[in-house]
Amino acid sequence: MSDEVKKDDKKVPRASSGRAFDLIKSILTVILASIAAAWISHHFKVQEESAAAYAESSKAATNTYYETIDTLGKRHYYALQAIYGFDGHEDEMGHWQRYDNMRSYWNEHRYSIFALTKRYFGAAAEQQLKDLLQKFNYVDDKLIAARNALRDKKPLPENFFKPGGLKDYLLNLDNEIRSFSESLQKQLKDGQVDIYSPQPPLTKP
C-alpha cells in the first residue's frame, strides 16, 4: 500500500512540470506571434512610406524639369519675337517688354532653379544650365542695345538677320536648349535622378 502511494507521489511533479511547460510554450508562441505581426506591420508601413516619398520626390524632379525648360523656352521665344519686332518695326517695345519680363522672372528664380537642378539632376546638369544662361547674356546685350536705339530714335545698331547675326545665334541656342532638355528627360526616364536627398530651400542664399 505504501509503495502505491509513493508511486502516485512521483507522478504529481511530472504532471505539474508538463502543464508549466505547456503554459510557457503558449506564452512564448503568443509573444513571438505578436513580434512577427509587429515586424510585418512595420515592414509594410516602411514600404508604404518609402513608396510615397519616392512618388513625391519623383514628381518634384519632374516639376523642376518643366519649370527649367519652360523658363528657357519662353526666354528664347520672346528673344526671337523681339528681333522680328525690331527688324519689322512692329510693336518693338511690346516685344522687348515681354522678353524683359521673362528675363526678370529668371533673375528672381535663378538660385532656386540652380539648386533644384543640381539636387535632382546633378552638378553636371547644373553647369550645363549655367552655360546656357551665360549665352543668353549675349542676347541681352544685343536686345538692350536695340531697345536703347529705338528709345533714342536712332537706327538699329546691327542687322539681326545677317549671316552669323543674332537670329543665327538664337537658332543655334535653340538646338542647345533642346539637347539639354532631352538629356534631363533621359535622366527622368531612366530613373537617374536623386530623389532621396533633402530638398534645398527655395529662397535666395
What are the pLDDT digits (tens) for 63-101? 999 999 999 999 999 999 999 999 999 999 999 999 999
pLDDT band at 123 (very low <50, low <70, confident <90, very high): very high
What does the pLDDT read at residue 56? 74
Condensed to tens digits (0 to 9), the pLDDT of residues 4-33 reads 545 555 555 555 667 777 677 777 777 776
What does the pLDDT read at residue 192? 79
What does the pLDDT read at residue 203? 41
Q: Which residues contact 144 (CB under 8 A, 6 or more apart)?
A: none
Condensed to tens digits (0 to 9), the pLDDT of residues 35-55 reads 766 666 655 554 554 555 556
- 186 versus 19: the higher-pLDDT residue is 186
Q: Which residues contact 166 (CB under 8 A, 6 or more apart)?
A: 83, 139, 142, 158, 160
What does the pLDDT read at residue 31? 75
The identity of residue 113, as a single letter, is I
Task: Calculate the dihedral angle through the C-alpha atoms of 167, 173, 179, 185, rounding to the nearest 10 degrees.
Answer: -100
Average pLDDT of the segment spanning 173-186: 96
pLDDT band at 204 (very low <50, low <70, confident <90, very high): very low
* pTM for this model (two decimals): 0.71
What does the pLDDT read at residue 193? 80
